[in-house]
Amino acid sequence: MATERQRNAARKNVKKAQAGARSKQTLKHLPKATKSALGKEANKVRTGQAETRGELEAKARRLGISGRSRMGKDELRRAIARAR
């Protein structure tokens, strides 16, 4: 059976985790224009009009682009275009 100290520590950890989960809801707090842009980009990927980050990274790997793991999608697109 857990001691009182252990129960208090567990209670504190649960409260910390719940607070962290509440504060991590970052999409909800973004400006409307940013949320719209993210939605449009996701829709392009779903419909096949744009490549996923994984696909872009695979192309960059084949082209021998260094630092690709630290790049975002737009940076990968630009680096691939420069390498061609």
Locus of tokens 């719209």: 36
Tell whether 78 is covered by a domain: yes
Residue-level pLDDT at 84: 87
User: What are the tokens at 8?
Assistant: 């208090």
Tell whether 64 is covered by a domain: yes
Which position has the higher pLDDT, 63 or 46?
63
- Domain span holding position 69: 52-84
Tell whether 76 is covered by a domain: yes
Tell whether 72 is covered by a domain: yes
Tell whether 40 is covered by a domain: no
Q: For the segment 9-40, what is each residue's pLDDT rounded down to a tens digit? A: 888 988 888 888 778 877 788 889 988 998 89
DSSP element (H, E) containing 79? helix 73-83
Tell whether 71 is covered by a domain: yes
Locus of tokens 């990274």: 57
User: Domain count of the chain?
Assistant: 1
